[in-house]
Amino acid sequence: MSESKTADLTSVAMTPRRNSRMGDTLAYWMPKLVLSPTLIIVLVFFYGFILWTGYLSFTNSRMLPSYDFVGWANYVRLFNNERWFVSLRNLAVYSVLFIAICLAIGLSLAILLDQKIRAEGALRTIYLYPMALSFIVTGTVWKWMLNPQVGIEQFVRSLGWETFRFDWLVDPNFSIYTIVVAAVWQSSGFVMALFLAGLRGVDDSIIKAAQIDGASRFMIYTRIIIPSLRPVFFSAFVMLAHIAIKSFDLALALTGGGPGVSSDLPAIFMYQMSFTRNQMGLGAASAMIMLLTVVAILVPYLYSELRTKKHEH
């Protein structure tokens, strides 16, 4: 056989190998090339701006960013600001009621749907529908409903109950509770979905064994099923706490932080200080405190998840 024919045969034999290597290289780099723009955007516009906000909190920024370093002065001013403590107190009231009521209603609705009732799909859709709305829409609708001049109070009075009062929206002592009502209405269906998924994941053999032993349905739920939902409770708590801490659009649309500052929240405080009061450094400091609060909630959750996965392996 001539040398030219041997070379041709060798090149033909090497071609599939080269194609295979090129295919492997392309398969290795293609996902990285596709994901790299998203990764760059996240690094710049998420983590980059977090770092920038953190730096601004240590500067004397007013209407525009300034890079005159002032140390912890903005944090000292923040915790000497009476309005900041009002917003923290409101956040505590709002968070406790919002989380507790959402968990109670969500669990109750999930247990109701777990009874294999008729029209379960329709009811599940109805309960979940509020979550499809934006918080701005929810706040606007509830602002109309709670307005004493055109809302629930006026409707009840038009039915003949002239002394009926439901003016929480304009009452400084109750305005924060209007945000709780609207937020619970929007988020309870989401919590219901979490609990319903947890209930459907409970081992039926355990329930049947309890029924054979004579346990009532109430005892099965209170002593077997609900205690087994601890991971769902924890996940729902973390998600609701995160929603509560960063609540801004709902409160702004519903009360605007008023009357006065009676329903002010840290997110509204941060927005107004940064963009309407020309106190960008102080607003950045409040934003970092909110971020640290969220991190303090998320870190135990992530640690618990990683620990659970480690034990499973």
Between the alpha carbon of residue 136 and those of residues 95, 221, 249, the distances in Å are: 19, 37, 6
For the segment 145-155, the average pLDDT, to the nearest whole number, is 87
> Cβ distance 237 to 95 under 8 Å?
no
Q: What is the rounded average pLDDT of the residues 241-252?
A: 89
Instruction: Say how far apart CA 164 and CA 152 lie, in whole Å.
Output: 10
pLDDT over threshold 70, residue 11: no
The pLDDT of residue 98 = 96
Lowest mean pLDDT among 36-40, 108-112, 181-185, 287-291: 36-40
**246: pLDDT strictly greater than 90:** no
Q: Is the pLDDT of residue 126 over 90?
A: no
Task: Tell me what pLDDT residue 107 has.
Answer: 93
Residue with tokens 């609060």: 293
* Predicted local confidence at residue 12, as pLDDT: 47
Judge whether residue 23 has pLDDT over 80: no
Residue pair 222/111 in contact by the 8 Å Cβ criterion: no
Considering only CA atoms, which of 96, 114, 73, 289 is closest in space to residue 177?
A: 96
pLDDT reading at 7 higher than 60:
no
Q: What is the arithmetic mean of pLDDT over 224-234?
A: 87
* Cβ-contact 284, 53 below 8 angstroms: yes
Q: What Rg do the C-alpha atoms of the chain give, in angstroms? A: 28
- What local confidence, expressed as pLDDT, does residue 14 receive? 52
What would the pLDDT profile of 156-195 be if each residue is shown by its tens digit? 888 888 888 888 888 899 999 999 999 999 999 999 999 9
Question: What's the CA gap between 173 and 168, in Å, rounded?
Answer: 8
Alpha-carbon distance 74 to 50, whole Å?
Answer: 17
Number of helices and strands in the chain (H, E) = 14, 0
Tell me the average pLDDT of the chain: 84
**For the chain, domain boundaries:** 82-312
Q: What is the mean pLDDT of residues 289-304?
A: 83
Tokens for 148, please give them: 């004493």
pTM reported for the whole predicted model: 0.82
Burial class of 83 by CB neighbour count within 10 A (0 to 12, 13 to 18, 19+): middle
| Of the listed ranges 43-47, 116-120, 141-145, 268-272, the one predicted with least confidence | 116-120
For residue 266, name the pLDDT band (cuts at 50, 70, 90): very high
Whether the pLDDT of residue 117 is over 80: the answer is: no
CA nearest neighbour of 202 among 227, 223, 228, 220: 228
- Two tokens, residue 95: 């968070």
Render the burial of 221-240: b for 16+ CB within 10 Å, e for the rest. beebbbeebeebbebbbbbb
In the chain, pLDDT over 70 holds for what percent of residues?
90
pLDDT band at 9; cut points 50, 70, 90: very low
Supply the pLDDT for residue 68: 85
- The CATH label, of 1.10.10.10, 2.30.110.10, 1.10.3720.10, 3.40.50.720, for the domain at 82-312 is 1.10.3720.10
CA-CA distance, 56 to 52, in Å (whole number)?
6
Q: What is the DSSP letter of 151?
A: S
Token reading at 252:
């702004």
Which three-class secondary structure state does DSSP give residue 294?
helix
Question: Poorest-confidence range of 1-15, 161-175, 256-270?
Answer: 1-15
Q: Taking the CB of residue 70, how many other CB atoms lie within 10 A of it?
A: 15
